[in-house]
Amino acid sequence: MRIGFVYDLRDEYLAAGYSELEVAEFDSISTIHEIKAALLRLGHDVVCVGSGTALAERLAGGERFDMVFSIAEGLKGRSREAQVPALCELFDQPYAFSDPLTMAATLDKAVAKRIVRDQGIATAPFAVLRSPTEVDAVDLPFPLFVKPIAEGTGKGCEKASRVTSADELSAAATQIIAKFDQPALAETFLPGREFTVGILGTGERAHVIGVAEVIVHADAADPVYSYENKEMCETMVVYELATDAEAIAAAHTALAAYHALECRDAARLDFRSDAEGVPHFLEANPIAGLHPSHSDLPIIADLAGLGYDALISGILQSAVERQAPPKSHKSATGKIREVV
């Protein structure tokens, strides 16, 4: 296949004057090289398009690809991850990963939690704080965990995110709202184990490839899976393949959430257990990081024995299968009948 590879290269945005925090979710040149190399090894012709803006110019100019493989996060707005999928749909361009609605819904953690909660999936009680003045209206027992409503890569998650009083909640919410220019999400703190679950496929073919337990080193400055710990995961975090009953429960719940959110092709879903060992949904990542040794989804694939190339191949296979036209054959009367 001729694949249009779309991405936000971190170095380009840094050179343009954006801060490290603003581009924390964007990809390194190493990630771009690794994904391209895997696609080439799988026998595909890879066109490195670059950003969503570059893709828009190509599509508007009449260029098309057999498939767009986009890991672009977008720069602005709570629907930024939906921009490339929406662009592909505007130009009738086949693409991998979830559609614009799922991309937008999963980036907003409160929206995602409401969707999975409505399906009976466990998620911690929460409140959305659009202003620090709303703290007094929060009717949740402490401790709480506070984070930005629409960020990834652990941005805004740190030691101060765990709050035990109204004053601490106010301080944390004030900082997040000012720093990220978006509401803060306050949810019941879950003291149990933390899991991240990798899923491949679409619809009935979706399946869990593995569950990894995330264990932050005891000497880490932040005792949570923060932005800093993610950036230094090789030394600050241990990922262990988990197969016990609690991990299996996380896997089943992850697949249910994957379906509820209508994710496609691949995603990574994060969970944390309560004091009774019940895994609760935290968030879904429908365009999870894909660096082979630094990103959670490839780490899960490696721990589960799948491997990096098989992961990339599985994503593409799912995208191709769901976009293939329905098979058909002639009936006894000679008319074409679709086979569903």
Nearest to 200 by CA among 152, 154, 254: 254
Query: What residues contact residue 328 under an 8 Å CB cut-off, 6+ apart?
Result: 336, 337, 338, 339
Q: If DSSP codes are grouped into helix, strand and coil, which group holds residue 297?
A: helix
> What local confidence, expressed as pLDDT, does residue 338 receive?
35
pLDDT at 224: 78
| 3-class state of residue 287 by DSSP | coil
Signed CA dihedral, 271, 276, 277, 279: sign only = negative
Q: For residue range 92-139, what is the model confidence (pLDDT) as tens digits? A: 999 999 999 999 999 999 999 999 999 999 999 999 999 999 999 999
Average pLDDT of span 288-313: 97
Label residue 296 exposed, middle or buried (CB < 10 Å: 0-12, 13-18, 19+): buried
Omega before 143 cis (within 30°)? Answer: yes
Mean pLDDT of the chain: 92
Q: Are strands 336-338 and 328-330 parallel, antiparallel or unpaired?
A: antiparallel
Note the pLDDT of residue 325: 63
Question: What integer pLDDT is reported at residue 24 of this predicted model?
Answer: 87
| Distance (Å, whole) CA 112 – CA 126 | 12
Paired tokens of 237: 């975090």
pLDDT tens for each residue of 52-89? 999 999 999 999 999 999 999 999 898 999 999 999 99
The percentage of residues in the chain with a pLDDT greater than 90, rounded to a whole number, is 82
Q: Which residue has the tokens 């899960």?
A: 300
Q: Is the pLDDT of residue 231 over 80?
A: no
Look up residue 75 and give its amino acid: L
DSSP string, 209-225: EEEEEEEE-TT-SSSSS
Q: Does the pLDDT value for residue 332 go beyond 60? A: no
What's the predicted TM-score (pTM) here? Answer: 0.92
Q: What is the pLDDT of residue 245?
A: 98
67: its two tokens: 């498939």
Average pLDDT of 166-193? 96
Rounded to whole angstroms, how far apart are CA atoms 284 and 102? Answer: 10
- The residue with greater pLDDT, 327 or 198, is 198
Checking if the pLDDT of 334 tops 60, the result is: no
Per-residue pLDDT band at 229 (split at 50, 70, 90): low
